[in-house]
Amino acid sequence: MSQLHTLSLVHPSHVAFPASRVKPTCFDLRRLPLRECRLTLPLLPPRVRSLPAVRCCSAPAPSDRKARTGMTNYLEVELKVRDHELDQQGVVNNAMYATYLQMGRQELLESIGISADSVARTGDALALADLCLKFIAPLRSGDRFVVKVRMPRVTSARIYVDHLIVKLPSQELIMEATTTGVWLDKDYRPVRIPAEFKSKFAQFIMDHEDSSYKFFATRTN
């Protein structure tokens, strides 16, 4: 039996040898008889698949919210709740709010001189890439409300729109929402906004940057 005792490795950097035979700082594992060595590897923690990141919509600060409920730089579309828009609890169904917001954006685009039909004739399309809603209070049958819409920023490929839904005549804030629109080509791939339309967006933002504007459109049956 060799005088070299059993070797225990907890980690490659921790190896125990008799001090009389081998210096701790210099050794060659290839010269050791494998039958007299015992190797203990550390247990690795189980691999955990990372979860997808979730983006949350944060409410604005109270002071900011007060400013945003004003009429500065917002286009306004006045609407009324219909019975078929309610759910079993007697309040407006959550899905209907996306329709209200879309109606506001449509009026905003038409006031700029852009319509979905004019975009479609070029072979392109406008689509939503992001929709963030914050529900604050419900609407019920017969409630009158106004959808306030503004366009704070347009980049080379994206259109950012802010929305507010305010109940009338109490001016109670019902919802806050933001959307991001993208320009798609005929293959439904995001592309840069054509110069013809980009100039209209830029001119609109410039005209209303420092002044308030209103546009009223009442929905009919």
Residues annotated catalytic, as ranges: 87
Helices 94-112 and 195-208, interaxial angle, to 10°?
Answer: 100
| Cis previous bond, 169, omega within 30 | yes
Q: What is the DSSP secondary structure assignment for residue 98, as one 8-state letter?
A: H
Q: Which helix (H) or strand (E) holds 162?
A: strand 158-168
SS3 percent helix, strand, coil of the chain, rounded to 5, is 25, 30, 45
Tokens 């039909």, residue located: 117
